[in-house]
Amino acid sequence: MKKLIFAFMASGLIFASCSKTEVVSPSASNNTPGATNLGDLVIPADFNWSSSKKGGLTVTLNPDLPAFAAEGQEIWITDDAGTILDRAFVKNNEAEFYYTIPQEKGSYKLYLPATKDEMALEGSGNVTMNVLTDIIGDSIALMQRATNSSGKKASGKTAVPVNLLINGDMEVNDFGVYNGGNSINNTGKWWNYYYSNRHQWKNINGNRVYKATHNNGADVLQSVAVTPGDQYTMSAVTGGTFCYYVYFKTANGSLISYVGYNPTNNIINETGVIPANAAYALIYLHGGKNKWIDDVVFATESSVVDTDGDGEPDDTDDYPNDPARAFTSYFPTAGYQTLSFEDLWPAQGDFDMNDMVLNTNVVYTSHANNDRVDATFTIDVEAVGAGYANGLAIVFTDANKQPLAQSIVSGVTGDASLDPDVTNGIIVFNDVYQAQTEYYQNNGVGPSLPAETFSFTVSFNANAGSQAIVPDIYIFRSNNRGLEIHLDGFLGTSEANPSLYNTVDDVNGTYSTLTGLPWALEVITPDKSYKHPLEYIDILVAYPSFQGWAESSGSSNQTWLDNPVPSKIFGL
């Protein structure tokens, strides 16, 4: 525990402190290398004390053809395994995210399922996502890429009764020439792409086939009218590799999405669902020299299953039997959040960062229209190394860590309750020692036990919408509710005592000192791998690489948490 004499000294300093107006943070290069006291360092003033990649992200689509129906399309954040971690819907050609992922472990990407386009998720701010949609210049590259890309494929029946294609069996020698323009007009027959002399109508094994004869292969296409929501089957028999592609278009010819197949055998059979707003499907075939295709089928039936009737098909609905929920997302977007607090604010502590240590994961659910429904919290209290009794609370903010304009919380169930005095606030417990089932500290001094878990669900009202909702998890003094301690960058709540701001070591209620030091540290890991220092062990001693990471605002030594001194760490 912390020595109470320090607490009394800090209390006296509150009344003797001078006013401070801004964080003054000279170059970190002036710090002594190999420092053993975090309090001696000067850190860049804009550092957020989070070992993570995080922030608001605006994704603007840049299709290579202007006639791309982007409105309402989904964009996903996925991990290496293709798991959907978050999704946003395109509005006015943009999609908005707020994400938090581990700083140096794992890879994550933005993924546009309609076109299979993807790009690495690397930073916050504004990014442009190029969308490859040009079926004239890029069709072959698109086919190959679509075969190698991940994405959900609709399930359902593969046998459908009616082929929408004319002359799908290739028994009639009727192949026009398509010279560009609006491809949705090319219905009623097969159309060669620009060239009439790159194929032959051949008899193979008693059946007529379409055979490519040119060194560059041959391309043929046909459009058919379709109904959104119907399930389709696309099949064919080929002699060698014969790629085929399905483009879904609106009534005016704007591209909505596409799927592509590059078979490795001579029989093709794929299924899917006609996307919303589609009026036509363009079937586009390409074969290399001496390759042939026959018995091409594109057939549809109304067989999409939506058990709960929420408008989201079962195969893409995370909650197919719950009409109130369809999608899942997470905070952090990937992994777990560890928060480590010093509790002597507004005076600096001893920087062992173990007065309260929390591991947190939040699961959000959303309606089919992506509006928030609820958030389920799982919080492990890993350590309680404080000499004071502290409470734990949460307030929801926007992506800029600012208070939300409206009340969004309708109720709480489980190991927490509504904060009656803070809009969008939750009280997990008022006193950690009273909340513990069995007393422990997990700091190498007091008793040690497995971390106790607090679980609860927060329900949202209609004001929540689909906006980013960020939980500001903070501690407060049990016998002094106005003494709150937040991660740097968050604000005190309406219950915080402003008379404590700008006293002792705090600067204007920023939860940062004049030299840029914090009272809370955030670490995002895939597996709760961060371990806190023992009591009285400065984090610089426990993690020697931490100094370079902090001095560089997190740009260097990003693996600092992988290189502890085992004898200085709890649990190692």
- Cis check for the bond before 346: say yes or no (omega within 30 of 0): yes
Tally the residues of the chain. 572
Give residue 548's region: left, alpha or beta (phi > 0; psi -120 to 50). Answer: alpha
pLDDT score of 181 more than 70 = no
Joined tokens for residue 188: 């009623």
369: confidence class by pLDDT, cuts 50, 70, 90: very high
Distance from C-alpha of 410 to C-alpha of 381, rounded to nearest angstrom:
26
Tens digit of pLDDT for each residue in 85-143?
Answer: 999 999 999 999 999 999 988 899 999 988 889 999 988 999 999 987 655 444 444 44
Query: Would you state the pLDDT for residue 294?
Result: 92
What type of residue is 138? D
Q: What is the pTM of this model?
A: 0.81
DSSP 8-class letter at 422:
S
pLDDT score of 151 more than 80 = no
By percentage, how much of the chain surpasses pLDDT 90? 71
pLDDT score of 556 more than 80 = yes
SS percent in the chain: helix, strand, coil, step 5? 10, 40, 50
Tens digit of pLDDT for each residue in 225-263?
Answer: 999 888 899 888 888 878 888 999 999 888 999 888 776
DSSP 8-class letter at 310:
S
By percentage, how much of the chain surpasses pLDDT 70? 88
Nearest residue to 82 via CA among 151, 134, 132, 20 = 151
pLDDT score of 7 more than 50 = no
Average pLDDT of span 377-386: 97
Query: Would you state the pLDDT for residue 97?
Result: 96
Query: Would you state the pLDDT for residue 571?
Result: 86
549: confidence class by pLDDT, cuts 50, 70, 90: very high
Looking only at the bridges linking them, the beta strands covering 520-525 and 50-63 are parallel
User: Could you tell me the domains of the chain?
Assistant: 4-51+320-568 (no CATH), 155-301 (2.60.120.260)
> Are 297 and 236 contacting, i.e. CB atoms less than 8 angstroms apart?
yes
Q: What is the largest CA-CA distance in the chain?
A: 100
Q: Could you list the beta-strand ranges (E) of 312-388.
A: 327-331, 336-341, 356-366, 372-383
pLDDT score of 149 more than 60 = no
Looking only at the bridges linking them, the beta strands covering 417-418 and 425-429 are antiparallel
Query: Would you state the pLDDT for residue 253?
Result: 87
270-308 residues labelled b (16+ CB within 10 A) or e (exposed): bbbbbbebbbbbbbbbbbbeebbbbbbbbbbbebbebeb
> Are 272 and 188 contacting, i.e. CB atoms less than 8 angstroms apart?
no
Query: Would you state the pLDDT for residue 23?
Result: 45
Distance from C-alpha of 565 to C-alpha of 477, rounded to nearest angstrom:
31
Q: Which residues pair with 191 in a beta bridge?
A: 176, 221
Joined tokens for residue 92: 């006015």
Distance from C-alpha of 246 to C-alpha of 268, rounded to nearest angstrom:
13
Query: Would you state the pLDDT for residue 268?
Result: 76
